[in-house]
Structure 1
Amino acid sequence: MNTAKQQLIQSWIDKASHDLGAVRILAASAEPVLDVAIYHCQQAAEKAVKAFLVFCDEDVIETHDIPLLIEIATEHVPPA
């Protein structure tokens, strides 16, 4: 795997991790902001799937449609 690809994958993973960090803070505050925490959960999931798609040499499409991204990702996972 080339360095540029590794960096792009790591960038998506880092962004997902930052979203999860925001979730922890928002959900654990004295007055939890759960709607925003849930938004960041969605963002983290989307970015994690996009990291996997880059790993699989898929072009990352500009969408927030997680079911579509997962459908594309499952093409790269052997059947159970």
Structure 2
Amino acid sequence: MAESAPLKNASRWMKQAGIDLADAEFVAASGRHALACFLSHQSAEKAVTGYLLARGAEMVWGHSLADLCEDAMAVEPSFDFMKSIGPLLDKHFLGARYPGGLPGGVPAEVYESYDSERALEIARDINQFAQERIDQLPV
């Protein structure tokens, strides 16, 4: 049986989420912790977007994981845990890229390995959770 249009679209988003996660791991290993944190956020954002598209959303707007997970909770209450950890990545959407998002210094000099390790852990959890929920949907 052919994959439904929503699942096909979701699979594209999940593929890019996985690529962003792999890129985050790569740059973290190179000591580029601010960029790894940003890419971790992007990966998780795409994973939740993929889930929402799989559930039939026609358009998904925004970059806030808190908001995206809230939307996902409307159709899948078990996203409540993701809503509790997703916002930990939201701070990296701007803070990891722009000096104005920090009280002093620049992101490339302020972010440390523990920042990227935690961001990667959260992104992996969100990616896995979203993929598992998509896999449970009927084709």
TM-score for both structures, normalised by structure 1: 0.84
Q: Which has the larger radius of gyration?
A: 2
Q: Superposed, which structure 2 residues align to 1:40-59 within 5 Å? A: 40-59=39-58
The structure carrying a bigger helix percent of its residues is 2
Contact kept in structure 1, 2:9 and 2:54, CA below 8 Å: no
Contact kept in structure 2, 1:27 and 1:33, CA below 8 Å: yes
Letter in 1 for 2:23: A
Contact kept in structure 2, 1:17 and 1:44, CA below 8 Å: yes
Gaps of 5+ in 2: 81-139
Residue equivalent to 1:39? 38
Over the matched positions of the two proteins, sequence identity in percent amounts to 27
Letter in 1 for 2:10: I
Secondary structure, aligned partner of 2:19: helix
Residue equivalent to 2:15? 14
**How many aligned residue pairs are there?**
77
Contact kept in structure 2, 1:16 and 1:44, CA below 8 Å: yes
Letter in 2 for 1:36: L
The higher-RCO structure (CA 8 Å, 6+ apart) is 2
Offset of residue 7 of structure 1: 1.8
Contact kept in structure 1, 2:23 and 2:36, CA below 8 Å: yes
Offset of residue 59 of structure 1: 2.8
Contact kept in structure 1, 2:10 and 2:53, CA below 8 Å: yes
Q: Runs of 4 or more off by more than 2 Å in structure 1?
A: 59-62
